[in-house]
Amino acid sequence: MNTLIVVLVAGLAGGVGFFLNGMFTRPKEQVAAQVDEPPEAAKSEVDVVDILPIPLAIVDLDMRKTTKNRALVGLASGSTALLLDDAVDGALQKALNGVEVSETLTFGGPPPLICELHAGKLNGSGAYAVLIDVTEKSRADSMRTDFIANISHELKTPVGAVAVLAEALMGETDPATIERLTGRMLTESERAAKTIDDLLELSQTEQSISENTEDINVEELLLAVKARYDEASRQRRIKIVVEASPSAHVTGDRQQIASALGNLVDNAVKYSLDEGVVILRSVAGAEDTTIEVCDSGVGIPSSDLDRIFERFYRVDKARSRGTGGTGLGLAIVRHVVTNHGGTVQVTSTEGEGSCFRLLFPMKAEA
């Protein structure tokens, strides 16, 4: 093994500066395990570079020979791969000139590719460039930031309103005014409580899979869910219709599935036009049981369909706030169905309505 490989392995396994952040603990362990093999396992410089799990490129001092391993070549395709190659070549050239490179690159999607590029000079042997795919990490960081901002807003708004109403109530003697202000205080406190309840429920479904499984008659479950929303639907002259197959059954957590269906029916009633129809339907198939909640409401724009299951995402923020929605209901639905080994599908047409379809495998694991 020549000097270049010795330097390369020492750097990757033991301490090139950009590994110090702790982000590369797993790749280093893999590198150490893979290079500690019999000599016949790596007959050339290219063999050693190619087996490394980290996207890596090395170049000689004259920039005549550039080696890029499989991990780097497989990181992107099409036009993104061309842009990535240009970025790597540019970083290698800078490194040969004694300039250390450490930057974040973003390539358009969909889906976008976000990488950290690090390059440096190998003493007397050339230069190296390493890429770390941080797309998922960046996405998670963005979701975490959005979540904190959203939850802060969702709780601050009703709490702030209660404080203002309480201040207005102080010293008030008119019975009608007192009744009006206390009624609004109750509404705002219920809104905050609903947000907290939904957060707790979402957290529970995200973190664990329920062990409270049982055989559930879907028709009975749909009728029970319908009963919970009969009064709200009557006030809007909305008809809830149950079209259930008597043979439709699912295996799972009754409370979780009822909660998921309740969120769908709640949305269907809230966003349906007066005198509309909400249909709860179940079909027993050979491999799965399908449960549908369809409405004749305002519908969902096609541009929003990919995001409606995100926490706190609202298609119409003003309307959602007016109906008391927290923006967590569909996130709960998705996690409940996923926990049961199922999938969620949605079709919608603006001005005509939406249909949510839950598919549960015949032997769902809840």
Read off the pLDDT of residues 101-121 as tens digits, 9 standing for 90 and up.
999 999 886 678 999 999 999
Is the confidence at residue 24, as pLDDT, over 60?
no
One domain for residues 181 and 167: yes
- Between CA 46 and CA 305, with CA 113 as vertex, the angle to 5 degrees is 145
pLDDT at 7 over 50: no
- HSE-up of 195 (CA within 13 Å, CB side)? 23
pLDDT in tens, 296-348: 988 999 888 888 988 877 776 555 455 556 678 899 999 999 999 999 999 99
Q: Are residues 59 and 92 in the same domain?
A: yes
Say what the pLDDT of residue 363 is. 64
What pLDDT sits at residue 104? Answer: 93
Domain total in the chain: 3
Task: Out of 154, 174, 207, pick the residue that ends a domain.
Answer: 207
Pair (200, 228) in one structural domain: no
Q: Which residues contact 26 (CB under 8 A, 6 or more apart)?
A: none
Q: Which residues contact 65 (CB under 8 A, 6 or more apart)?
A: 59
Whether residues 146 and 238 share a domain: the answer is no
Q: Which residue from 252, 265, 319, 326 is spatially nearest to 292, judged by alpha carbons?
A: 265
Determine the average pLDDT of the residues in 4-8: 42
Q: Given pLDDT bands bounded at 50, 70 and 90, which one contains residue 201?
A: confident
pLDDT in tens, 126-143: 999 999 999 888 888 877
**Domain shared by 126 and 273, yes or no:** no
- Same domain, residue pair 192 and 319: no
Beta bridge partners of 279: 241, 294
Q: Residue range 241-255: average pLDDT?
A: 93
At 117, which CATH number?
3.30.450
Predicted confidence at residue 105, as pLDDT, reads 92
Do residues 195 and 154 lie in contact, with contact meaning Cβ atoms separated by under 8 Å? Answer: yes
Q: Which of 84, 112, 133 corresponds to the end of one domain? A: 133
* Closest by CA position to 267, among listed 331, 199, 220, 182: 331
CATH of the domain at 148: 1.10.287.130
pLDDT band at 222; cut points 50, 70, 90: very high
226 vs 171, higher pLDDT: 226
135 and 112 in contact (C-beta within 8 Å)?
yes
Instruction: Record the tokens describing residue 173, joined without a space.
Output: 């003697």
User: Do 224 and 336 fall into the same domain?
Assistant: yes
Same domain, 269 and 361: yes
Residues 128 and 254 in one domain: no
Give the per-residue pLDDT at 23.
Answer: 30
pLDDT in tens, 59-90: 988 888 888 999 999 888 888 889 999 999 99
More confident residue, 27 or 22: 27
**Claim to verify: residue 169 and residue 242 sit in the same structural domain:** no
Quick one: 364 and 231 in the same domain?
A: yes
Local confidence band at 45 (pLDDT 50, 70, 90 cut-offs): low
252/328 same-domain check: yes
* Residues whose CB falls within 8 Å of the CB of residue 99, separated by 6 or more in sequence, listed in order: none
In this prediction, residues 91-95 reach a mean pLDDT of 93
Q: What is the pLDDT of residue 341?
A: 92
Instruction: Specify the pLDDT at position 28.
Output: 37
The residue out of 182, 207, 232 marking a domain boundary is: 207
d(CA 206, CA 190): 24
Q: What is the CATH number of the domain that holds 322?
A: 3.30.565.10
Q: Range of 146's domain?
A: 137-207
**What's the pLDDT at 253?**
92
- Residue 358 pLDDT > 90: yes
